[in-house]
Amino acid sequence: MSAELRRVGAIVWKDLTAERRTKANFNAVVFLAGLILLLFGFAIGPDGQTMELIAGGVLWLTVLFSGVLSFNRSYEQELENGALEMLLLYPGDRRSIFVGKLLANLLFVLLVEVVMVPLAAVLYDLPLWQHIGPLSLVLFLGTTGFVTLGTFYAAMASRLRAREVMLPLLLFPMLVPLLVGAVQATGGILNGDLMGSTASWLRLLVVFDVIFFVAALFAFEHVIED
């Protein structure tokens, strides 16, 4: 077990180091997220009240549209110079590769959110600081499910010619329950939870995360095989 954990740790460290040394991707994704937030504002505004009401939806679509760009890259760097083959040759359970990549992607997207969410709070006038605790929980649960499926589908999509279109095509329809749950929970926290349903939406997110983490973990072996 501890050997597997060390392998997971090594993959996380490797991926994050590669990211930290280039930073190109992180900066690009953060700027893109900011751009999407602005564009949504132009599309929906300038009525402040409307913008506040739908801020949860805007926030999550921005997470999805900008985050999706990070998953293929996570494998693309392995495809050059046959790095993936080397990675697969190492002894040990291949599921640790999946968990490692998942954690690295999770940290990456969460870091993007650390910049993006305060920016959204400024642009859309959201009471971020009053609700920082529950909001962080929703962001964490929603992002975990998103990154789990993103990491899984990118293992296939990144090795196809049509990777830019295949990943969203496979990933986004699967994320509908997560999007609904995360947006409802975020809205409940920001606008006041009139129906007392935020806890149920959080439970939905937990169920989604657990089911697809387990399913993707077992399915990953069949995807990475060759």
The rounded distance, in Å, linking the Cα atoms of 161 and 159 is: 7
DSSP state of 162: T
| 177, 193, 206, 217: which one binds another protein (CB under 8 A) | 177
34 Cβ contact list (under 8 Å, min separation 6): 115, 116, 119
Q: Does 61 bind another protein (CB under 8 A)?
A: no
Q: Does 217 bind another protein (CB under 8 A)?
A: no
Span of 13-21, 38-46, 95-103, 195-203 interacting with another protein by CB under 8 A: 195-203
The rounded distance, in Å, linking the Cα atoms of 111 and 3 is: 27
Cis peptide bond upstream of 46, omega within 30: yes
Q: Does 1 bind another protein (CB under 8 A)?
A: no
| 184, 189, 202, 209: which one binds another protein (CB under 8 A) | 184
Q: Does 207 bind another protein (CB under 8 A)?
A: yes
The residue written with tokens 């400024």 in the block is 122
The Cα-based distances of 115 to 40, 101, 111, 224 in angstroms read: 17, 22, 7, 33
Residue 200 beta carbon to another protein: minimum distance, rounded to whole angstroms: 7
Nearer to another protein, 3 or 199 (CB): 199
Q: Which residues between 127 and 166 bind another protein (CB under 8 A)?
A: 149, 152-153, 156, 160-162, 166
Three-state helix/strand/coil letters over 19-55: HHHHCHHHHHHHHHHHHHHHHHHHHHCCCHHHHHHCH
Residues that bind another protein (CB under 8 A): 149, 152-153, 156, 160-162, 166, 169-170, 172-174, 176-177, 180-181, 184, 195, 197, 200, 204, 207-208, 211-212, 215-216, 219, 222-223, 225-226
